[in-house]
Structure 1
């Protein structure tokens, strides 16, 4: 059934459910967190303010255990008053990639609706109301739309097949592929797969079209020498490759970042350069001439400065901090001015609020992510008003308005306004449910490791916590390794749900973690598992010593991805733990190098190729420590092993080797295989089963 829409201005004062609804009844007694609490929290997407700063649009997913019952729609919130947020779309398929017209009256977004074989661009008139109108009907769909500065055109990303010259060719190629009688895949490029997908031969392209239904899109890169390069492409994501592209302020040019060395992925670091081309078409001009990476392009309001995020892509290094840089526009000098060169932190995101010459940005540090700013010249670094705990997960500016999503471990995501005094919460989708849970904010502590590094940790306590009691400790190890435990609400490894049966959860940012500077993140180079594993062990020692309620005789450890790697390493090298949990964990560095979807970074981290003389390939592969079993120093502790069969980042052969090793050594082990999951467990019932198995495994050996 189609639900008619009124003018948004009328809807905003009409009756109905609101994002900011307040329960009239007194709150019920608090309860220990359940899987339903975690899974059914509404998932609030990144808000985008209108250019006039009066509105913010964002997605809200209403989750369900049955994916057929799950809804995701766009919501809109006034930024000038306290009128509750209201639903803007009513489509079960969901929307993404929303972008405002310059006059703040229309929105374009991406959706796959009835009759669409691929996601298409839709436009809705926010001011006048009415149904969303489909703008594109491309065979391979459309994504990442952006209005031109005059609102008359749209820039977006789509794909073609090799040799296609237009949409008719694309349609013909798609039919040929659909009609094939064989199912084989053929590859001459690397990698052949990504996370949970075998890649195809589509080629990413930039398109421009008039912002009207029925308008014909133009492939800006058609016939260009740039697009013909074997290494041309964009960043790989779930929906294909992406090209970070924006309009110049006068609307006459398109500026974008793209890679020209994707064909070297197996033997070199990838990098993205900045290009410009006329909106009418022609050969793109390469503006930067280095081997850095650039993304997150933004123009200043006057169009005279181009800002970007950049990484140096330093050869032979496993990690580079992300910095803010700028270029005078038109870009005649290809050397960037790095504005955060003295700040040893990776910038997550930045915005350019109207009416200001300051850049507002966020970065990770010690479990938090807060706001900071510098001026356009890169000076006068300041801390901006932020909440004292938690993390900012998105940030966008429109006019003088600045909005984003903030969350913490005990405050699921909500939309907030920033930049005008203390942050102000604009939505309350999850506040009532969160208020009914018995949980405490994580407690932070630091210690000095034996290698001299200061290591940050968080402690999470279970419901009904009694400091006079003794609790088993579960050391949960984050993935990455270029990652950081954050004070945030997590679905896949929710801290409080892991602690719920009566465990204290320890979260340690071992060396290799982000949020502590470039050297700290690079410190695992040549030492991928032993050094981080030692620091996890030392963190456990510190927690036992520091907190009287931790029972040092009942310890467990586990994690996923790189955290799974470390769990396997600890099982192979120590007997101090009573149980392990390893999800998507590697067992053999050589096998992981050859079977995963990313290999060059693994060579850099280990100091050379697998056929070289670097001992780390053998000495830090968990399976190669199987001889420790006879010595009684490892591979004796019971382990729960889990894997998604569609995981191509840490393929399932690692879990199978792990399980085989345990049985060969007669170690208690259990293997969970999820045929329909990838690197993460993303389906509701699978997630509930996974948590129940983790709880059951820990209870068996810790209680």
Structure 2
């Protein structure tokens, strides 16, 4: 039974069940998904694998096990999943949807941590499977938990890229492992000698850390395609990743053939999202042009035939090399008959589904938008092996998980299941959502999403919560977040405005690329214009009681604002894992980031780093500020939080430091996240006057 929240609070958000994207069955009638829940009463997490009846929208529990994950269909009724086991081992398990638990059995126990499971039925009837796991330098399966611990904790390096995201690098690397399941005497068996390392001896690693997953590889009856960093260039300096094909027929080959690189002519940046056609011969994928720009525009490409490899063909190619489609495609899938591709891409604060012919020769017109439910799409799949419909997982500003069925041919979209009953469980509703457009500093249009309290009264005035996104090449979307959720602030009594200024994605590459060499310039001026637009055009917003918050680049902008006139417009500021000094950008791990955004290295173009350095303006700092930073944040070392806090304290400016020793660039652990939210809300509520209003209201009850 689902209980409706009296008020949407951090506790409600963080303890709400979290659903994974759902995987439709071959006949399109059911879908597998996982759901995890954290209890602040027991201080424990629970996890389930569930099956959804797509027609009724009802679901039932199949597996209840904290270690169970990644369910995949291996028949109309059977599914396989991974189960984490003791001492870093993983069990491959098969179960039945109609009789869960009764026919459950272990297929194999693997001495390592497996993840990113993919399966494919082969013409022989066998089930090919591929997954990721760490490999030792000599290609063996690595299991750090079972290794003998060294007596010394010393780490020695002689090259760049010594740590990444939240981990100091070791000699072990990600690799893709394959195998085959065959049913014998009613049960699946893992054939041969278990799993085989597809990349052994190649010097290649996939998926690409820190965020690579199932989107970095795919399998078919023809073999394996995968994305890997170019081993000949430094991964700290360059973003180049290549696509490779390995011909594998039975998925029992003890030694796979050498990978074949796929040429892409003038494109040599990030490669992402390879996906085989259903016939198994073609591969669609995306690739960026620049080898030193992580947020460059991905182009859609086609590898026409893996049996006769030739350079990939680009969709919407132009003579100037810019590409005609101005948006950034992310994931791709093929239609059942391989005639159409569907892509996800951001567009003006939302992630939508787009349709295009599956051959560049026929792609004369730009992709067309496919009707979806409100919000942002996170995952698209076919509704069954031969269906013309799509099964979509999405979220919105008010809904944490929505499964829907889309019919592109008829332009219809219908909700199958919503994790929060489209916001009702949280006491949220769509009428609270809005948006504004205003003129940026250069006269160009700039967009912002607006979220009002659920009990909004247009005759009242509400303090402003001004949220600044990170990236900087990113955007606020009409989507759900458990880290920066606008509804949390709105339900405290704020009108929340989330602007997407220069540097934001989803509005064309000119706006996004306009931030290069302009970190504190055009984006700051756009934010100034947004604040003025709110003051002049939203009578229900009290800008005299405004607060501003940001993380990562948004944290940089908070520190920049603090030293400039916009900083005096706010009663309080919150900086999460922000840049204090741009001169310290070379303490990060991915050096290609500052090289691109500051147009060169710090030793070749120091003036560009100095120009937009918040630390140069600390004499102007005056607004109360909360600093949040974590010790495992290797993107921005903790000194970037300690330095501004020390300055605020030394200057006598009201300030507070919140530090997490066990979090990275994000605060993920539920108990830590709850503290984060309480500290942030207490800070802004104190200075905006909401705390006083709440106290007065409580006294009059």
Select the residue among 571, 575, 593 that pairs with 1:578: 571
Q: 1:520-531 to 2 correspondence within 5 Å? A: 520-531=511-522
Is the contact between residue 269 and residue 291 of structure 2 (CA under 8 Å) also seen in structure 1? no
1:237 aligns with 2:182: no
1:369 aligns with 2:345: no
Residue in structure 2 matched with residue 395 of structure 1 by the alignment: 380
CA gap of 1:292–1:619, structure 2 versus 1, over 3 A, is closer
1:124 aligns with 2:106: no
Provide the rounded CA distance (Å) in 2 between the counterparts of 1:285 and 1:266.
24
Residue in structure 1 matched with residue 655 of structure 2 by the alignment: 669
For the residue of structure 2 that corresponds to 1:496, the secondary structure is: helix
Residue in structure 2 matched with residue 149 of structure 1 by the alignment: 121
CA deviation vs aligned residue, 1:561-613 (integer Å, no higher than 9, x gap)? 1111111110022222221110111101121322x222122111101111223
1:514 aligns with 2:505: yes
Residue in structure 1 matched with residue 613 of structure 2 by the alignment: 621
Provide the rounded CA distance (Å) in 2 between the counterparts of 1:580 and 1:262.
44
CA gap of 1:266–1:317, structure 2 versus 1, over 3 A, is closer
For the residue of structure 1 that corresponds to 2:58, the secondary structure is: coil
Residue in structure 2 matched with residue 6 of structure 1 by the alignment: none
For the residue of structure 1 that corresponds to 2:118, the secondary structure is: strand
Residue in structure 2 matched with residue 476 of structure 1 by the alignment: 467
1:603 aligns with 2:595: yes
Provide the rounded CA distance (Å) in 1 between the counterparts of 2:46 and 2:628.
29
How far residue 669 of structure 1 moved from its aligned partner, in angstroms, is 1.2
Residue in structure 2 matched with residue 178 of structure 1 by the alignment: 148
How far residue 696 of structure 1 moved from its aligned partner, in angstroms, is 2.1
1:322 aligns with 2:298: yes
CA gap of 1:407–1:648, structure 2 versus 1, over 3 A, is same
How far residue 665 of structure 1 moved from its aligned partner, in angstroms, is 2.6
Residue in structure 1 matched with residue 694 of structure 2 by the alignment: none
How far residue 435 of structure 1 moved from its aligned partner, in angstroms, is 4.3
CA deviation vs aligned residue, 1:392-435 (integer Å, no higher than 9, x gap)? 12111232142121222122212212226532222243228734
Is the contact between residue 390 and residue 487 of structure 1 (CA under 8 Å) also seen in structure 2? yes
CA deviation vs aligned residue, 1:6-32 (integer Å, no higher than 9, x gap)? xxxxxxxxxxx7xxx8x8xxxx8x844
Superposition CA RMSD, Å? 2.7
CA deviation vs aligned residue, 1:476-516 (integer Å, no higher than 9, x gap)? 11111121111122211221211233222111001111101
Q: 1:303-322 to 2 correspondence within 5 Å? A: 303-312=280-289, 314-315=290-291, 317=293, 319-322=295-298
For the residue of structure 2 that corresponds to 1:411, the secondary structure is: coil
Is the contact between residue 504 and residue 550 of structure 1 (CA under 8 Å) also seen in structure 2? yes
Q: 1:164-175 to 2 correspondence within 5 Å? A: 164=139, 166=140
For the residue of structure 2 that corresponds to 1:282, the secondary structure is: coil
Structure 2 length-normalised TM: 0.86
For the residue of structure 2 that corresponds to 1:88, the secondary structure is: strand
Please, which moves more after superposition, 571-580 or 267-276? 267-276
Residue in structure 1 matched with residue 167 of structure 2 by the alignment: 197
How far residue 682 of structure 1 moved from its aligned partner, in angstroms, is 1.8
Provide the rounded CA distance (Å) in 2 between the counterparts of 1:394 and 1:85.
19
Select the residue among 244, 248, 252 that pairs with 1:278: 248
Provide the rounded CA distance (Å) in 2 between the counterparts of 1:68 and 1:331.
56
For the residue of structure 2 that corresponds to 1:206, the secondary structure is: strand
Provide the rounded CA distance (Å) in 1 between the counterparts of 2:145 and 2:372.
49
Structure 1 length-normalised TM: 0.86
Select the residue among 297, 309, 313 that pairs with 2:274: 297
CA gap of 1:559–1:195, structure 2 versus 1, over 3 A, is same
Q: 1:678-697 to 2 correspondence within 5 Å? A: 678-697=664-683
CA gap of 1:461–1:467, structure 2 versus 1, over 3 A, is same
Residue in structure 2 matched with residue 51 of structure 1 by the alignment: 26
Provide the rounded CA distance (Å) in 1 between the counterparts of 2:150 and 2:41.
33
Is the contact between residue 132 and residue 207 of structure 2 (CA under 8 Å) also seen in structure 1? no
Is the contact between residue 179 and residue 196 of structure 2 (CA under 8 Å) also seen in structure 1? no
Residue in structure 1 matched with residue 440 of structure 2 by the alignment: 449
CA gap of 1:179–1:257, structure 2 versus 1, over 3 A, is closer
Q: 1:22-37 to 2 correspondence within 5 Å? A: 31-37=6-12
Q: 1:258-269 to 2 correspondence within 5 Å? A: 258-261=228-231, 264-269=234-239
Aligned length: 653
CA gap of 1:413–1:438, structure 2 versus 1, over 3 A, is closer
Is the contact between residue 157 and residue 243 of structure 1 (CA under 8 Å) also seen in structure 2? no
Is the contact between residue 229 and residue 242 of structure 2 (CA under 8 Å) also seen in structure 1? yes
Q: 1:100-111 to 2 correspondence within 5 Å? A: 100-101=73-74, 103-111=75-83
Provide the rounded CA distance (Å) in 1 between the counterparts of 2:233 and 2:598.
22
Select the residue among 672, 688, 699 that pairs with 1:702: 688
Residue in structure 2 matched with residue 76 of structure 1 by the alignment: 51
1:219 aligns with 2:193: no
CA deviation vs aligned residue, 1:296-318 (integer Å, no higher than 9, x gap)? 22222233422112222x25656
CA deviation vs aligned residue, 1:326-369 (integer Å, no higher than 9, x gap)? 12113432132325842211113222232462222222112222
How far residue 459 of structure 1 moved from its aligned partner, in angstroms, is 1.7
Q: Which runs of 5+ in 1 are unaligned?
A: 1-16
Provide the rounded CA distance (Å) in 2 between the counterparts of 1:255 and 1:112.
26
Structure ranking higher on relative contact order (CA contacts 8 Å, 6+ apart):
1
Q: Which runs of 5+ in 2 are unaligned?
A: 182-187, 318-322, 690-701
